[in-house]
């Protein structure tokens, strides 16, 4: 029986292979070809035989066993998806299901947008694992740290360059940066003047700088925030120093992007240094909805 590996271990093993065999064109990961080639070599009797788009109403992607008694598996992504970053992540997510879960789910797995949007160990474990695999495969931390150091305070353009490099969404790239940064920063995604979800870096979370939105009434974005003042944001190129008492009980620098075509707003809040108020014994959990959004930001995705 095949030894079960963690999502991170699978991604690390594949990263080692890619580092050795694709030095000239390392990024973005050509995940479609990788899934086909690796599965054929590693599991020749049970490989991925097709990666294709199709009509999947209500679903983002699926892992399906081959039909008509044939061996192998197929990865399918919704042909309504237009963003290359979103497609790339969907294929990687389903590849993760193949490596991690196909033996337990011989009938296959279908994934909704919510399944791939939630990064939380308390949600469906297999979806969290597939997301972790995809993030580690597409955006290896060692390479990401070379693009943006752990002490660097990036703007959205800098993170957008990483999104282009890895062919992932801007939001996915911000979340990846928040995973390792030593800075106190918070990602807030809002719609119709209310916070949809947020994510704090560990240093921010440990100082009590987060927004708890899961299982609570919606939190209205502050009137004096940049997210609530589009004309002010446009006048200041999307960056503004925000006074204490607006977002939090301390000042911050807010960087904002209005994603009109998808009707939401991204705010990245950078805070000053502070001494931790408490040490969390739990996973960073300011919100159960640690989402990956897959929408267009220039040539990459929001």
Clarify whether residues 27 and 122 are in a common domain.
Answer: yes
Q: Considering the domain boundaries, does residue 2 fall inside one?
A: no
Clarify whether residues 131 and 154 are in a common domain.
Answer: no
Please tell me the predicted confidence (pLDDT) of residue 278.
56
**In whole numbers, what is the pLDDT of the chain averaged over residues?**
89
Q: Would you list the DSSP string of 267-281?
A: EEEE------S---S
Q: Considering the domain boundaries, does residue 121 fall inside one?
A: yes
Q: Considering the domain boundaries, does residue 212 fall inside one?
A: yes
Clarify whether residues 16 and 103 are in a common domain.
Answer: yes
Cβ-Cβ contacts under 8 Å for 36 (sequence gap 6 or more): 47, 48, 49, 51
Among 138, 159, 193, give the residue marking a domain's end: 138
**pLDDT beyond 50 at 285:** no
Counting Cβ atoms within 10 Å, is residue 231 exposed (0-12), middle (13-18) or buried (19+)? exposed
Clarify whether residues 32 and 129 are in a common domain.
Answer: yes
Q: Considering the domain boundaries, does residue 220 fall inside one?
A: yes
Q: Per-residue confidence at 277, pLDDT binned at 50, 70, 90?
A: low
Clarify whether residues 22 and 96 are in a common domain.
Answer: yes
Clarify whether residues 240 and 277 are in a common domain.
Answer: yes
Please tell me the predicted confidence (pLDDT) of residue 4.
85
Q: Per-residue pLDDT tens for 41-84? A: 999 999 999 999 999 998 999 999 998 888 999 999 999 988 88
Clarify whether residues 54 and 194 are in a common domain.
Answer: no
Among 90, 119, 138, give the residue marking a domain's end: 138
Q: Per-residue pLDDT tens for 30-40? A: 999 999 999 99
**pLDDT beyond 60 at 296:** no
64 in Cβ contact with 98 (< 8 Å): no
With H, G, I as helix, E, B as strand and everything else as coil, classify residue 133.
helix
Q: Considering the domain boundaries, does residue 201 fall inside one?
A: yes
- Spatial separation of the C-alpha atoms in residues 200 and 72, rounded to whole Å: 41
Please tell me the predicted confidence (pLDDT) of residue 68.
83
Q: What is the pTM of this model?
A: 0.86
Q: Considering the domain boundaries, does residue 1 fall inside one?
A: no
User: CA 65, 70, 71, 73: dihedral to nearest 10 degrees?
Assistant: -30
Please tell me the predicted confidence (pLDDT) of residue 298.
36
Its domain, for residue 165, covers 147-301
Pairing of β 73-78 and β 48-54? parallel
Q: Considering the domain boundaries, does residue 244 fall inside one?
A: yes
- Spatial separation of the C-alpha atoms in residues 276 and 201, rounded to whole Å: 12
Clarify whether residues 151 and 297 are in a common domain.
Answer: yes
83 in Cβ contact with 169 (< 8 Å): yes
Q: Per-residue pLDDT tens for 214-242? A: 788 989 999 999 999 999 999 999 999 99
Q: Per-residue confidence at 273, pLDDT binned at 50, 70, 90?
A: confident
CATH number at residue 80: 1.10.10
**pLDDT beyond 50 at 174:** yes
Q: Considering the domain boundaries, does residue 228 fall inside one?
A: yes
**pLDDT beyond 80 at 171:** yes
Among 96, 113, 138, give the residue marking a domain's end: 138
State both tokens at 254.
Answer: 């807010």
- Spatial separation of the C-alpha atoms in residues 169 and 43, rounded to whole Å: 30
Q: Per-residue confidence at 1, pLDDT binned at 50, 70, 90?
A: very low
Q: For residues 9-16, give the mean pLDDT.
A: 97
Clarify whether residues 251 and 278 are in a common domain.
Answer: yes
Length of the chain: 302
State both tokens at 263.
Answer: 């009707």
Q: Per-residue confidence at 289, pLDDT binned at 50, 70, 90?
A: very low
Q: Per-residue pLDDT tens for 119-169? A: 655 447 899 899 899 999 999 999 999 999 999 999 999 999 999 999 998
Q: Per-residue pLDDT tens for 179-198? A: 999 999 999 999 999 998 89
Q: Per-residue confidence at 113, pLDDT binned at 50, 70, 90?
A: confident
Please tell me the predicted confidence (pLDDT) of residue 215.
81
Clarify whether residues 119 and 206 are in a common domain.
Answer: no
Please tell me the predicted confidence (pLDDT) of residue 69.
81
Q: What b-and-e string marks burial along 94-126, b requiring 16 or more CB atoms within 10 Å of the CB?
A: bbbbbbbbbeeeeebbbbebebbbbbbeebeeb
- Spatial separation of the C-alpha atoms in residues 45 and 39, rounded to whole Å: 9
Clarify whether residues 101 and 207 are in a common domain.
Answer: no
Clarify whether residues 132 and 153 are in a common domain.
Answer: no
From residue 184, give the alpha-carbon distance in Å to each of 38, 124, 221, 276. 39, 29, 20, 10
**pLDDT beyond 50 at 117:** yes
Q: Domains in the chain: how many in total?
A: 2
Q: Per-residue pLDDT tens for 57-69? A: 989 999 999 988 8
**pLDDT beyond 60 at 281:** no
Going by the DSSP 8-state scheme, the letter that residue 221 receives in this structure is P
């Amino acid at each position: 029986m095949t030894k079960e590996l963690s999502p991170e271990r699978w991604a690390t093993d594949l990263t080692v292979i890619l580092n050795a065999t694709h030095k000239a064109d390392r990024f973005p990961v050509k995940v479609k070809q990788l899934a086909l080639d690796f599965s054929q070599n590693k599991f020749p009797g049970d490989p991925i035989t097709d990666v294709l788009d199709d009509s999947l109403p209500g679903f983002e992607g699926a892992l399906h066993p081959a039909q008509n008694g044939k061996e192998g598996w197929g990865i399918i992504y919704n042909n309504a998806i237009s963003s290359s970053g979103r497609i790339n992540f969907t294929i990687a997510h389903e590849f993760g299901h193949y490596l991690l879960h196909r033996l337990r789910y011989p009938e296959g797995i279908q994934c909704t947008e919510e399944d791939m949007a939630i990064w939380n160990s308390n949600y469906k474990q297999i979806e969290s694992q597939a997301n972790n695999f995809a993030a580690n495969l597409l955006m290896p931390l060692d390479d990401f740290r070379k693009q943006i150091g752990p002490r660097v305070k990036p703007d959205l353009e800098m993170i957008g360059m990483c999104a282009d490099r890895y062919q992932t969404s801007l939001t996915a790239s911000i979340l990846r940066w928040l995973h390792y940064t030593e800075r106190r920063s918070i990602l807030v995604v809002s719609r119709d003047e209310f916070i949809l979800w947020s994510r704090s870096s560990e240093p921010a979370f440990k100082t009590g700088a987060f927004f708890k939105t899961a299982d609570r009434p919606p939190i209205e974005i502050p009137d004096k925030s940049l997210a609530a003042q589009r004309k002010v944001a446009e006048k200041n190129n999307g960056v503004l120093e925000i006074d204490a008492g607006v977002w939090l009980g301390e000042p911050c620098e807010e960087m904002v992007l209005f994603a009109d075509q998808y009707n939401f707003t991204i705010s990245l809040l950078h805070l000053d240094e502070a001494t931790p108020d408490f040490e969390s014994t739990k996973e960073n959990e300011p919100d159960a909805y640690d989402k990956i959004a897959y929408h267009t930001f220039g040539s990459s995705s929001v």
